[in-house]
Amino acid sequence: MRRGNISHSTIRLLCVCLIVGYVFTPAEAKVKKYRFDIQVKNVSRLCQAKPIVTVNGKFPGPAIYAREGDRVLINVTNHAQYNMSIHWHGLKQYRNGWADGPAYVTQCPVQTGQSYTYDFNVTGQRGTLWWHAHIFWLRATVYGAIVIRPKQGTPYPFPQPKFEFNLVLGEWWNDDVEEIVKQGNKLGLPPKLSDVHTINGKPGPLFPCSEKHPARFNLVDPPERNTVGVPTGGWTAIRFRADNPGVWFMHCHLELHTGWGLKMAFVVENGADPDHSLLPPPKDLPQC
């Protein structure tokens, strides 16, 4: 098995979801089940094909849809040669750090031929987030959107748009991303820049061998931020309330910085009552 440092790619990903503001009749929370098969597939971009790690053979991977209050079960089965873990970026894992996903921080990765079911409740939040691989640079191709709609009967906090869709911004390297990282580490230099930026996995009509996919999107309604940008010579103050027991990974969101050691973890101990105590680990938690 391949093992290594926890890592991120330099993907800058933004999911913008415009959801029609219908009003629904009240209904109970549901259990949403998904299956993620981690598999290698040949994908062609910029006039050439290469094998990449995908979820269900898709690049980007499938979107997850749920309502506030739902329970989500995502069974991840790893058919690739790389160890795998999935992080549900921005999802509040109350008392349930076991489902957060950073490899070697909150879980050991899912090894080749093994499965793990991420089991979490969507509590106290709505909007569009994203999921991605949280080991090596695999999130260069293993990522997708999470769309959380309000509870039934709760209106959306913006006017009704004409239509809705997700935009996922990413990057594409013609060469093997893991080999690019190895070469950079060997030379003591940052890995080379990507060959093209992508929208929903496509480079756009200005590049050779590209499909034409016109896009319109809303930049009026600002999303909640869970990543802070700090300019050169700048600083930021981060405050958080320690009301959720577990181990929570904090790191620079540029991959090369993570490899240089800009990462840490907050350890929050149990509180005084059961509602502020960590749940026991699931029986199928991956072993190292």
| Tens digit of each residue's pLDDT (9 = 90 or more) over 74-119 | 999 999 999 999 999 999 999 999 999 999 999 999 999 999 999 9
* Residues 169 and 40 sit within 8 Å (Cβ to Cβ): no
CA nearest to 187, candidates 256, 137, 136: 256
Averaged pLDDT of the chain: 83
Q: Can you give the pLDDT at residue 229? A: 80
d(CA 127, CA 232): 31
d(CA 146, CA 88): 8
Q: pTM for this structure?
A: 0.79
Cα separations (Å) of 20 from 150, 162, 240, 253? 11, 8, 32, 32
What is the dihedral angle through the alpha carbons of 278, 71, 77, 191, rounded to the nearest 10 degrees? -70
Q: Can you give the pLDDT at residue 257? A: 67
CA nearest to 37, candidates 11, 75, 88: 75
* Residue 274, phi then psi, degrees to nearest 5: -60, -30
The answer, yes or no, to whether residue 174 has pLDDT greater than 70, is: yes
Q: Can you give the pLDDT at residue 222? A: 58
Look at 238 and 271; give whichever has higher pLDDT: 271
What DSSP assignment string belongs to 221-282?
SPPPP-S----TT----------S-EEEEEE-SSHHHHHTT-EEEEEE---SSGGGSPPPPP
Give the long-range contacts of residues 278-285, CB within 8 A, separation 24 or more.
Answer: 278/95, 278/97, 278/245, 278/246, 279/95, 279/96, 279/98, 281/98, 282/98, 282/117, 282/119, 284/115, 284/116, 284/117, 285/98, 285/107, 285/108, 285/116
* Mean pLDDT calculated for residue range 133-142: 92
The angle at the Cα of 12, spanning 10 to 17, to the nearest 5 degrees, equals 155
> Most confidently modeled of 9-13, 36-40, 180-184, 255-259?
36-40
* Rg, C-alpha atoms of the chain: 19
The answer, yes or no, to whether residue 170 has pLDDT greater than 80, is: yes
* Mean pLDDT calculated for residue range 251-277: 82
* pLDDT one-digit tens code per residue, 29-75: 799 999 999 999 999 999 989 999 999 999 999 999 999 999 999 99
Question: Which amino acid, 259?
Answer: G
Among 6-15, 29-38, 207-216, 244-253, the least confident range: 6-15
The answer, yes or no, to whether residue 184 has pLDDT greater than 80, is: yes
pLDDT confidence bin for 134, thresholds 50/70/90? very high
Q: Can you give the pLDDT at residue 211? A: 64
* Residues 30 and 67 sit within 8 Å (Cβ to Cβ): yes
Look at 256 and 221; give whichever has higher pLDDT: 256
